[in-house]
């Protein structure tokens, strides 16, 4: 009997109990009103404390209608519902009235048998669904800028997007991870000007990315004193866009240097993409969009620039072409949206991009919507409602935003190197005999950095704090990995398969029941993460699961001794190992969905 089925039976019984207990009021609300099973089902919630019940119905919303006190209603309905359930035979479900709530208690053994058997059978496929069958979802993330180093600021988009891509895949979507590096735009005018003025052949050798950054920062510093530099940069970019050979050659070299850097970082992080194309890929696709918008009668000229007036006092116009004829970021994203729609006909297209660009996406979405409305496209051919900006807060350092131009950014590689170094020291101290020490240190160090980006809801700013990122205790990636490693150690020590005839009733401690409840919640945790486009929900779920298991692991008996998982009692040990296997399975799969590795020893 699954949890969902229990909720349905609860709703049926309670709805009927309401009708029997308050027939007069039932007359007034009728069959589909407040006493219907559907209404009851929709009002179910999770009790604050798991001991109160598996799920609960508050009776407060019914008080006005019934003109009665909460305790009276609850106890009356509970009694009626329980006798209804009993008439159906042994149901494993009972209802208690407590403080105005109808708390549902489920037969623990039945629940454990159902949950653990399902996980043992499905293994890593537990939590899979076909929610997304036949649907394509695009996830754009990372999108670093060429000629700039990969800083911790790019980390969030990369980590969140990579995880979302994996989560949607698990839910049965055709999930396409897309990287869209910024390899075009005025910044290249700046780079070209800076390189010609202060750069040299040597700056493209050695630590080229670092040198390019220095040039970029210097440009902005000098431009503060000399405004003419900005004009020079605009001109240089215009030349690049017009295909000037020398500028194009420089641009190609900047690109080669940067892509090599990105690939190294992605390998380090274990991040993958299905499709990669830069902004320049859209260069020959922008005219078509501009022409299309013109035909739709949406384009006007303003101060020499080509714009779409969004007819919204809250939004500035969408700028398609500057007064000098050059295109903009907005133009390219519009062209990209049309391109993606024509190529994939996606169910949804997600842009995992910082919240500071919220207006940019509002504008672009509005333009698409106006375009599709003007063309009177049928619903099935419209994408405006399918485009979604998945914004996230800044990564700050010392309370301030890190900005490339000001040179106040921290290199991601620097952070990872430091984390790995500290992990290595810790392993040498605690587990010096570990064989794959380098690989393990890398998995854990990267895990700490990655998890630090997922432990706060995405729309909030996160403060980059060395001590926090490099902490391996408490609510961290290494905590999850450590719990996983200990579980694996139990499996090695046990060294046998768990047979079919496990007696789950032997798992009779509250701590064990709590773990099973959490295991049963795994599919919901994945759905929550997907529904909110935020892997944070999965991350905190895993922390709860690991915490719950650690309580089992270190539970003490009445004499104050650790009640070990593996003991002389064969049947008990086997039941507990079934639990261990289930937790390992979910923990490993959960970590994978977040983009973390799960070492078996550490």
Partner RNA sequence: GCCCCCGUAGCUCAGUUGGAUAGAGCGACGGUUUCCUAAACCGCAGGUCGCAGGUUCAAUUCCUGCCGGGGGUACCA
| Residues 35-54 contacting RNA, CB under 7 A | 42-43, 45-49, 52-53
CB 184 within 8 A of CB 248: no
Site for RNA in 142-201 (CB under 7 A): 145, 182, 184-187
- Whichever of 394 and 522 has its CB closer to RNA, that residue is 394
Q: How many CB atoms lie within 10 A of CB 555?
A: 15
3-class DSSP state of 227: coil
- Whichever of 241 and 261 has its CB closer to RNA, that residue is 241
Of 98, 131, 244, 418, the residue at the interface with RNA (CB under 7 A) is: 98
Least separation in angstroms between CB 534 and RNA: 9
Site for RNA in 118-147 (CB under 7 A): 145
Least separation in angstroms between CB 45 and RNA: 6
Least separation in angstroms between CB 417 and RNA: 16
Residue 330 neighbours by CB under 8 Å, 6+ apart: 318, 319, 320, 360, 363, 364
In angstroms, rounded to a whole number, what is the distance separating the alpha carbons of residues 57 and 26? 18
- Whichever of 169 and 217 has its CB closer to RNA, that residue is 217
- Whichever of 375 and 508 has its CB closer to RNA, that residue is 508
Of 489, 503, 508, 557, the residue at the interface with RNA (CB under 7 A) is: 489
Q: In the structure, how many helices (H) and strands (E) does the chain have?
A: 21, 14
Least separation in angstroms between CB 292 and RNA: 20
Least separation in angstroms between CB 471 and RNA: 6
Angle at which helices 208-225 and 245-269 cross, to 10°: 120
CB 349 within 8 A of CB 140: yes
Least separation in angstroms between CB 423 and RNA: 5
- Whichever of 256 and 356 has its CB closer to RNA, that residue is 356
- Whichever of 184 and 346 has its CB closer to RNA, that residue is 184
Tell me if 568 contacts RNA by CB under 7 A.
no
Tell me if 357 contacts RNA by CB under 7 A.
yes
Comparing CA positions, the residue from 161, 167, 208 lying closest to residue 180 is: 161
In angstroms, rounded to a whole number, what is the distance separating the alpha carbons of residues 173 and 334? 24
Residue 286, phi then psi, degrees to nearest 5:
-80, -35
Of 516, 517, 553, 588, the residue at the interface with RNA (CB under 7 A) is: 553
In angstroms, rounded to a whole number, what is the distance separating the alpha carbons of residues 11 and 260? 58
- Whichever of 149 and 169 has its CB closer to RNA, that residue is 149
Site for RNA in 243-302 (CB under 7 A): 279, 302
CB 516 within 8 A of CB 111: yes
In angstroms, rounded to a whole number, what is the distance separating the alpha carbons of residues 11 and 172? 30
- Whichever of 88 and 359 has its CB closer to RNA, that residue is 359
Tell me if 554 contacts RNA by CB under 7 A.
yes
Q: How many CB atoms lie within 10 A of CB 484?
A: 26
Least separation in angstroms between CB 477 and RNA: 9
Q: What is the DSSP letter of 562?
A: B
Residue 181, phi then psi, degrees to nearest 5:
-65, 150
Least separation in angstroms between CB 303 and RNA: 3
Site for RNA in 381-420 (CB under 7 A): 393-394, 401
Least separation in angstroms between CB 337 and RNA: 15
In angstroms, rounded to a whole number, what is the distance separating the alpha carbons of residues 488 and 600? 6
Stretch that binds RNA, among 125-133, 156-164, 168-176, 476-484 (CB under 7 A): 476-484
Binding-residue total with RNA (CB under 7 A)? 101
R_g over Cα of the chain: 29
- Whichever of 136 and 328 has its CB closer to RNA, that residue is 328
In angstroms, rounded to a whole number, what is the distance separating the alpha carbons of residues 34 and 182? 55
Tell me if 426 contacts RNA by CB under 7 A.
yes
**Binding track, positions 311-330, relative to RNA; x by CB under 7 A:** ---x-xx-x--xxx-x-xxx
In angstroms, rounded to a whole number, what is the distance separating the alpha carbons of residues 186 and 247? 13
In angstroms, rounded to a whole number, what is the distance separating the alpha carbons of residues 103 and 564? 33
Least separation in angstroms between CB 355 and RNA: 6
Stretch that binds RNA, among 28-36, 371-379, 548-556, 589-597 (CB under 7 A): 548-556
- Whichever of 21 and 573 has its CB closer to RNA, that residue is 573
Least separation in angstroms between CB 379 and RNA: 25
In angstroms, rounded to a whole number, what is the distance separating the alpha carbons of residues 53 and 101? 10
Stretch that binds RNA, among 97-105, 212-220, 246-254, 257-265 (CB under 7 A): 97-105
In angstroms, rounded to a whole number, what is the distance separating the alpha carbons of residues 325 and 107? 71
Site for RNA in 449-468 (CB under 7 A): 455-457, 459-463, 465, 468
Half-sphere exposure of 99 (CA within 13 A, CB side): 6
Stretch that binds RNA, among 78-86, 100-108, 334-342, 407-415 (CB under 7 A): 100-108
Task: Strands of 395-520 (E only): list them.
Answer: 395-397, 400-401, 462-464
- Whichever of 375 and 510 has its CB closer to RNA, that residue is 510
Comparing CA positions, the residue from 444, 453, 443, 445 lying closest to residue 535 is: 453
Site for RNA in 431-450 (CB under 7 A): 431, 444
- Extract the tokens encoding 18: 């309401």
- Extract the tokens encoding 261: 């850097």
Q: What angle do CA 488, 490, 494 make, to 5 degrees?
A: 120
In angstroms, rounded to a whole number, what is the distance separating the alpha carbons of residues 230 and 235? 9
- Whichever of 18 and 101 has its CB closer to RNA, that residue is 101
Task: Strands of 359-418 (E only): list them.
Answer: 387-390, 395-397, 400-401
Of 272, 359, 417, 503, the residue at the interface with RNA (CB under 7 A) is: 359
Of 14, 215, 427, 450, the residue at the interface with RNA (CB under 7 A) is: 427
- Whichever of 393 and 595 has its CB closer to RNA, that residue is 393
Of 1, 20, 58, 65, the residue at the interface with RNA (CB under 7 A) is: 58
Least separation in angstroms between CB 29 and RNA: 16
In angstroms, rounded to a whole number, what is the distance separating the alpha carbons of residues 25 and 66? 7
- Whichever of 136 and 186 has its CB closer to RNA, that residue is 186
Least separation in angstroms between CB 243 and RNA: 17
3-class DSSP state of 93: strand
């Amino acid at each position: 009997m699954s949890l969902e089925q229990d909720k349905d039976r609860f709703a049926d019984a309670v709805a009927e109990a309401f009708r029997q207990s308050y027939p007069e009021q039932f007359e007034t609300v009728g069959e589909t009103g407040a006493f219907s099973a559907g209404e009851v089902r929709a009002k179910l919630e999770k009790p604050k404390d798991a001991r109160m019940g598996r799920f609960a119905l508050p009776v407060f919303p019914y008080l006005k209608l019934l003109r009665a006190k909460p305790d009276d209603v609850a106890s009356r309905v509970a009694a009626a519902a329980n006798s209804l359930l009993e008439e159906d035979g042994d149901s494993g479900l009972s209802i208690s009235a407590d403080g105005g709530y109808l708390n549902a208690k489920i037969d623990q053994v039945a629940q454990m048998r159902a949950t653990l058997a399902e996980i043992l059978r499905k293994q890593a496929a537990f939590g899979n669904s076909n929610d997304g069958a036949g649907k394509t979802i695009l996830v754009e993330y990372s999108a670093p800028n060429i000629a700039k180093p990969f800083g911790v600021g790019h980390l969030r988009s990369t980590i969140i997007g990579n995880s979302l891509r994996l989560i949607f895949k698990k839910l049965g979507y055709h999930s396409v991870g897309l990287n869209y590096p910024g390899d075009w735009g005025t910044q290249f005018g700046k780079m070209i000007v800076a390189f010609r003025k202060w750069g040299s052949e040597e700056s493209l050798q050695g630590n080229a990315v670092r040198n390019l950054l220095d040039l970029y920062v210097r440009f902005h510093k000098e431009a503060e004193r000399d405004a003419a530099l900005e004009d020079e940069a605009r001109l240089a970019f215009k030349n690049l866009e017009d295909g000037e050979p020398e500028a194009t050659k420089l641009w190609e070299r900047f690109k080669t240097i940067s892509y090599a850097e990105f690939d190294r970082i992605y390998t380090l992080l274990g991040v993958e993409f299905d499709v990669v194309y830069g902004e320049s890929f859209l260069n020959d696709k922008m005219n078509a969009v501009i022409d299309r918008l013109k035909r739709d009668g949406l384009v006007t000229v303003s101060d020499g620039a080509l714009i779409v007036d969004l007819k919204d006092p809250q939004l500035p116009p969408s700028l398609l072409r500057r007064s000098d004829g050059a295109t903009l970021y907005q133009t390219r994203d519009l062209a990209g949206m049309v391109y993606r729609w024509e190529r994939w006909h996606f169910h949804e297209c997600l842009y995992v991009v910082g919240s500071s660009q919220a207006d940019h996406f509002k504008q672009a979405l509005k333009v698409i919507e106006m375009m599709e409305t003007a063309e009177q496209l049928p619903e099935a051919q419209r994408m405006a409602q399918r485009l979604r900006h998945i914004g996230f807060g800044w990564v700050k350092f010392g309370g301030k935003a890190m900005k490339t131009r000001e040179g106040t950014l921290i290199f991601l590689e620097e952070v990872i190197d430091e984390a790995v170094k500290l992990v290595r020291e810790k392993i040498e101290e605690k587990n010096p005999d570990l064989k794959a020490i380098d690989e393990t240190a890398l998995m854990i160090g990267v895990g700490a950095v990655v998890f630090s980006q997922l432990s706060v809801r995405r729309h909030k700013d996160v403060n980059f704090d060395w001590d926090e990122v490099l902490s391996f205790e408490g609510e961290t990636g290494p905590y999850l990995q450590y719990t996983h490693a200990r579980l694996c150690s139990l499996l090695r020590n046990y060294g046998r398969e768990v047979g079919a005839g496990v007696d789950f009733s032997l798992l009779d401690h509250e701590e064990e029941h709590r773990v099973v409840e959490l295991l049963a919640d795994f599919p919901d945790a994945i759905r929550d993460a997907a529904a909110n486009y935020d892997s944070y929900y999965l991350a905190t779920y895993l922390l709860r699961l690991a915490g719950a298991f650690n309580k089992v692991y270190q539970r003490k008996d009445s004499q104050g001794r650790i009640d070990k998982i593996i003991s002389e009692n064969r049947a008990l040990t086997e039941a507990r190992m079934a639990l261990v296997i289930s937790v390992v399975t979910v923990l490993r799969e959960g970590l994978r969905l977040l983009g973390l590795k799960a070492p078996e020893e550490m």
